[in-house]
Amino acid sequence: MSNCILCTEELKPGEGELIWRGDDCRVILVNDPDLPGFCRVIWNRHVSEMTDLTYGEREHVMALVFAVEEAIRHVMHPDKVNLAALGNMVPHIHWHVIPRFKDDAFFPGSAWSARAQETPQASLENRKMLAQALPEAIRSAISQMH
């Protein structure tokens, strides 16, 4: 699909960092100032629904999602990890893997909710520092999948 923003693998400046790329998927560390550690697992080919994938492809993408979640939990120690695959705005398979904290701006709502509170600056800075270790932790978790 030519106008799909996820079909292009180029990240716009400030959008995030490509952490890992395989033949079928890639993992992006999203540059979200309110939610440090927010990652996306993106299917490389334009496919809209999980059931359009083969069983093996479904298992592969979910194994990647779980590897990213595991790395986020190990590095950032969130209160909760949100997994979401909506696709309403961008109908291209991608999973959001989001570390959540009781004092984050949107808690207890979703990451797309209205702000519920202001995150203390010290907490945000600490999470940004922790998130710097995520790329290596995620690459390591993925390498252990095989």
pTM of the model: 0.95
How far apart are the C-alpha atoms of 76 and 71, rounded to whole Å?
8
Give the start-to-end residue ranges of the domains of the chain: 16-143
To 10 degrees, the CA torsion angle through 22, 26, 27, 30? 150
Please spell the DSSP secondary structure of 72-98, one letter per residue. Answer: HHHHH--SEEEEE---SSS-S-EEEEE
Strand partners, 30: 16
> 3-state SS of 130-146?
HHCCHHHHHHHHHHCCC
Determine the Cα angle at 103 with ends 97 and 88, to 5°.
Answer: 35
To 10 degrees, the CA torsion angle through 88, 89, 91, 92? -120
Say what the pLDDT of residue 1 is. Answer: 55
Q: Which fold has domain 16-143?
A: HIT family, subunit A (3.30.428)
The answer to whether residues 61 and 95 touch, using CB atoms and an 8 Å cutoff, is yes
- How does pLDDT run along the chain (146 residues), one tens digit per residue? 568 889 887 888 888 999 999 999 999 999 999 999 999 999 999 999 999 999 999 999 999 999 999 999 999 999 999 999 998 889 999 999 999 999 999 999 999 999 999 999 999 999 999 999 999 999 999 999 86
How far apart are the C-alpha atoms of 46 and 38, rounded to whole Å?
22
